[in-house]
């Protein structure tokens, strides 16, 4: 597979931020005057992509998730990436592939870069963006405009770019932007990622290097 640009999601793709996600969700519930839920119950809704079902009907979904995405600005949790993440990113750079990271958080770019620096990740990326920098109107958690902007900045054709993410919003964003969507199994199973539109699915991040050499074994079955 001839790839010139690799775009990565951040949360639960390069680092495990499930607890940070949970804390932001609880903060959003409290902001709307709703009762917090346990971590186990949160995981139940999260892994089945049904967090919306926990919200009362009178809550405006778009406004709630906008609030949720902005609560990351207050987060102080800095995850520690696996050493394998560093070696994978290093190998991609050795291969001459440009690297970008896009988070769906509505977080200031300065604060996000500081978190990446604390996690020793910032130095690997040519392009770093949060969706706060873009007017995303396609759907909740959309990264479509951010992906298109990175393609323009990198001067790379969309079909020579991949997007790696763990959630269906990453996959849908990649497809709408025209790049090759690669799902990473984390809390969402392989069949869910394939149904969302992933062309390929990997079970762990290190499989990405294998996929670039031989993508066929990772292709979703129609």
Q: What is the pLDDT of residues 22-77, one digit of tens each?
A: 888 999 999 999 999 999 999 888 877 788 888 999 999 888 988 887 787 676 66
Q: How far is CA 141 from CA 80, 121, 136, in A?
A: 24, 23, 8
Average of pLDDT values for 173-178? 96
Judge if 124 and 179 occupy the same domain: yes
Among 53, 74, 95, residue at a domain's last position: 74
Give yes or no for residue 184 having a pLDDT over 80: yes
- Do residues 214 and 3 make contact, with C-beta atoms less than 8 angstroms apart? no
What is residue 139's predicted lDDT score, i.e. its pLDDT? 66
- C-alpha span between 215 and 218 (Å, rounded): 6
What is residue 75's predicted lDDT score, i.e. its pLDDT? 65
Judge if 177 and 189 occupy the same domain: yes
Judge if 159 and 113 occupy the same domain: yes
The sign of the torsion formed by the CA atoms of 33, 35, 187, 85 equals positive
Distance of CA 47 to the CA centre of its chain: 15
Count of the separate structural domains present in the chain: 2
Judge if 169 and 110 occupy the same domain: yes
What is residue 46's predicted lDDT score, i.e. its pLDDT? 84
Judge if 185 and 88 occupy the same domain: yes
Q: How far is CA 129 from CA 107, 116, 135, 158, in A?
A: 9, 11, 13, 18
- Do residues 172 and 1 make contact, with C-beta atoms less than 8 angstroms apart? no
Confidence class of residue 101 from pLDDT cuts 50, 70 and 90?
very high
Judge if 56 and 133 occupy the same domain: no
Judge if 85 and 98 occupy the same domain: yes
Mean pLDDT of the chain: 90
What is residue 129's predicted lDDT score, i.e. its pLDDT? 94
Judge if 50 and 109 occupy the same domain: no
Judge if 107 and 205 occupy the same domain: yes
Structural domain containing residue 35: 18-74
Report the predicted TM-score, pTM, of the whole model to 2 decimal places. Answer: 0.86
How many Å from the N-terminal Cα to the C-terminal Cα in the chain? Answer: 20
Here the CATH number for the domain that contains residue 145 is: 3.40.50.1000
Judge if 162 and 143 occupy the same domain: yes
Judge if 92 and 154 occupy the same domain: yes
Compute the residue count for the chain: 222
């Amino acid at each position: 597979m001839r790839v010139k640009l690799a775009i990565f999601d951040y949360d639960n793709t390069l680092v495990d931020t499930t607890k940070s996600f949970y804390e932001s969700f609880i903060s959003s519930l409290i902001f709307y005057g709703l009762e917090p839920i346990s971590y186990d119950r949160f995981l139940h809704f999260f892994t089945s992509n049904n967090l919306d079902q926990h919200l009362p009907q009178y809550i405006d979904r778009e406004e709630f998730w906008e609030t949720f995405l902005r609560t990351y600005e207050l987060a102080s949790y800095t995850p520690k990436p696996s050493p394998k993440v560093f070696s994978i990113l290093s190998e991609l750079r050795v291969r001459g592939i440009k690297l970008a990271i896009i988070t769906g958080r509505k977080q200031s770019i300065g604060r996000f870069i500081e978190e990446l620096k604390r996690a020793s990740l910032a130095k690997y990326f040519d392009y770093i963006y949060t969706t706060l920098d873009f007017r995303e109107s396609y759907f909740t958690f959309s990264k479509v405009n951010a992906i298109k902007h990175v393609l323009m900045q990198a001067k790379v054709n969309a079909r020579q770019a991949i997007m790696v993410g763990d959630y269906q919003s990453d996959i849908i964003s990649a497809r709408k932007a025209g790049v090759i969507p690669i799902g990473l199994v984390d809390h969402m199973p392989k069949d869910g990622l394939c149904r969302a539109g992933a062309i390929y699915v990997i079970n762990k991040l290190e499989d990405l290097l294998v996929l670039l050499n031989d993508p066929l074994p990772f292709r979703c079955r129609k």
